[in-house]
Amino acid sequence: MKSKIALQSLALASLSSIALPSIAAQAEPLSTETQNAFFAQIAAHCGQAFAGKVVSGDTADSPFSGKSLIMHVRECSDTELKIPFHVGDDHSRTWVLTKTQQGLKLKHDHRHQDGSEDAVTMYGGDTMNDGTVLKQSFPIDRESIDNFVKNGLTQSITNVWHMEITPTTFSYQLTRENRNFKVDFDLTQPVALPPKPWGHDSLAGPIIGLMLL
């Protein structure tokens, strides 16, 4: 009996000496090396604003014609970028790019002029693969599909959003069947900073921001 107890004690001592991997070590990486490089390229422009122009030819893009288009890499952390997209006097939308355990997530934060959330807000999707250091794509997620259906926007349930960056150009694109919207921003010529996006300052008024759905 004593021999058996001694063997059990020895086994327990051996197990206790084994270094178990930490929880952090077991966790999935926060995005991938490729996605981190893509994220870093945008973050390098933090604090700057750039003018853009529509380069797609859809007739649905007419609401953007003749208006100044400004993107502002306004808020930056190691895991999240907030990029307001200003269309003329419409300051309703902010792109929110976030690192996740699975990759990158893109959401669209839409506000009314008084700062309150629109019924259709925080829609977007997650990357499905590594993408490249130049381009990432974000197919629509289930939460956004449900929101679109609830609000009668069934034409948008197959949306895929894309972001692309080179040393000279940042591009934002929305694609689905019979829809292709794309804006190119000139990164070589920073412009004056636009006003704060709605929801960051409390502004009175009932104006509702133009959506890109």
CA 79, 85, 91, 93 torsion-angle sign:
negative
Helices (H), the chain: 2-16, 23-26, 33-43, 142-150
| Whether 125 contacts 116, CB under 8 Å | no
Residue 44 three-state SS: coil
Q: What is the pLDDT of residue 8?
A: 46
2-18: b (≥16 Cβ within 10 Å) or e: eeeeeeeeeeeeeeeee
| Whether 142 contacts 125, CB under 8 Å | no
| Whether 198 contacts 121, CB under 8 Å | no
| CA–CA gap between residue 100 and residue 209 (Å, rounded) | 28
User: Measuring CA to CA, which residue among 166, 128, 124 is closest to residue 147?
Assistant: 124
| CA–CA gap between residue 76 and residue 108 (Å, rounded) | 16
Q: Is the pTM of this model over 0.85?
A: no
| Whether 182 contacts 54, CB under 8 Å | yes
| CA–CA gap between residue 99 and residue 32 (Å, rounded) | 9
In the 8-state DSSP scheme, what is residue 149?
A: H
Tokens of 64: 């953007």
Per-residue confidence of the chain (213 residues) as pLDDT tens digits?
444 444 444 444 443 343 444 434 445 678 899 999 999 999 999 999 999 999 997 778 878 878 999 999 999 999 999 999 999 999 999 999 999 999 999 999 999 999 999 999 999 999 999 999 999 999 999 999 999 999 999 999 999 999 999 999 999 999 999 999 999 999 999 999 999 999 975 333 333 444 555
